[in-house]
Each structure stands twice: as C-alpha cells, then as structure tokens.
Amino acid sequence: MGLLSVVGPTVAPESGAATLVGCTTSQLNVIAYNVSVAAGTVGDLFWVADTGTRACTLRGYANVSYSGNYGIVQSKKPSQPLVVTEEHGRRYVNIAGVAKDRVLPRVSLSPGGAIASFWIFGTDMPHQLANGHQSRCIFSNVMYVSLSKGAPEVLVEPVRAGNFDWCGPVTVFPVVAGDTGSDPPFPLDRMFGPNP
C-alpha cells in the first residue's frame, strides 16, 4: 500500500449516525512529537490531529519529502528538494507499526478528539549500502507529509536539534490510532522516559 488512503464514506449505522469521509489536508495537523536515537538508529514519532470541523478517516502510510541540503551539516546554499528513498515497513521490534497478526487499521479522527500517529526510522550515520555505494546524507529543517493520494502536503518542523538528518533510506510505518505509533500500543515512557 502506498500513500495513506482516504477512506470513506463508510456505511452509517442503523441509528442514522453521520457517515465518516476521508480526511483532507486542510483539516489535519501533523507534528513531530519526539525522537529516539540509539547507536545511529533514529526514530521520529509523529502525531496527527483533526483540527477541522468534521470527523474523518485515514488508512495506510504517509508519504514524506524533505527540503534542505545534501551532507551532514547545514549548508549556506539555498534549500533544495532532497531525494530520500522511502520504504514502507510493517513492524519495527515492538515499538512501531502494526503487529503481523493485525490488518492495517482504519483510523477515525474527530475535531478535538483522539489523535493518530506514525513512526519514521532510519540512520543518521554515513554507511555503505547493500549495493556497495556510500549512503547519501541529508540535512533538512523541513519535512512535507502527504496524507492522501494527490492531496497537498502538510509542512512539519523537526523536534531534534531543529533538523531531520538521514543517511540512506527511511522507513515509514503505518498510521495507527493513538499517540504511540504502534498497534498494539507500546508505552511511550519506555521509549522517552516518564512524562514530566
């Protein structure tokens, strides 16, 4: 499955409740919540909230792109669109994505209600790729996320040191309900420590 798909309309229950339709870019806010870094492995957790006026649904994977420069430090040159290979993952250990015995969830969002979340994992260290080439590193202070096919992108600013650093491909995990980026949920305090 590629981009997140807008899912809807769904069948309304017999009670006559409103039909949920696919989320639009204009009604969503995406933030970089936190980052986990260990021995060159970087995981960024993103939260998605409905800031519109109606409930909606999402299902699948976000599509991401970056703007900045190539290299491991910020350049004085103007920012440019960056080519970063994006892969889709199903599960990363127990902390990201969807367990193998579960289907990709359809996530319902409502204004001021529960949020959805997803992880992106990669490395920030130059390394040799499987094809023998050296990984290409980027330094980016802005990421763009598309949450449905053909929809405009949402601008996302980084948490970690004010930039996104990737060397080689990134793996995007599916959007899931809740704030953990994991289905079943993985406690955030085990990733980031107790919430103050």
CA distance 10 to 151: 20
pLDDT at residue 192, as a whole number:
86
**In this predicted model, what pLDDT tens digit does every residue of 109-156 receive, in sequence order?**
999 999 999 999 999 999 998 899 899 999 998 999 998 777 789 999
The pTM of this model reads 0.87
**Secondary structure of 24-66 in HEC code, one letter for each residue:** CHHHEEEEEEEEEEECCEEEEEEEEEECCCCCEEEECECEEEE
Determine the 3-state secondary structure of 98 from DSSP: strand
Token pair 């039909």 is at which residue? 19
Residue 98 pLDDT > 90: yes
pLDDT at residue 56, as a whole number:
94
pLDDT at residue 191, as a whole number:
84
Cα separations (Å) of 86 from 14, 20, 52, 65?
42, 29, 29, 9
- By CB atoms closer than 10 A (0-12, 13-18, 19+), residue 48 is buried
- Segments making up each domain of the chain, as ranges: 20-184
pLDDT at residue 73, as a whole number:
82
E strand spans, 40-159 = 41-50, 56-59, 63-70, 80-82, 86-88, 91-92, 96-98, 106-109, 116-123, 137-146, 154-156
Residue 9 pLDDT > 70: no
Residue 49 pLDDT > 90: yes
**In this predicted model, what pLDDT tens digit does every residue of 167-187 receive, in sequence order?**
999 999 999 999 999 999 999
| Eight-state DSSP code of residue 105 | P
* pLDDT bracket for residue 14 (50, 70, 90): very low
Cα separations (Å) of 58 from 106, 118, 125?
6, 12, 33
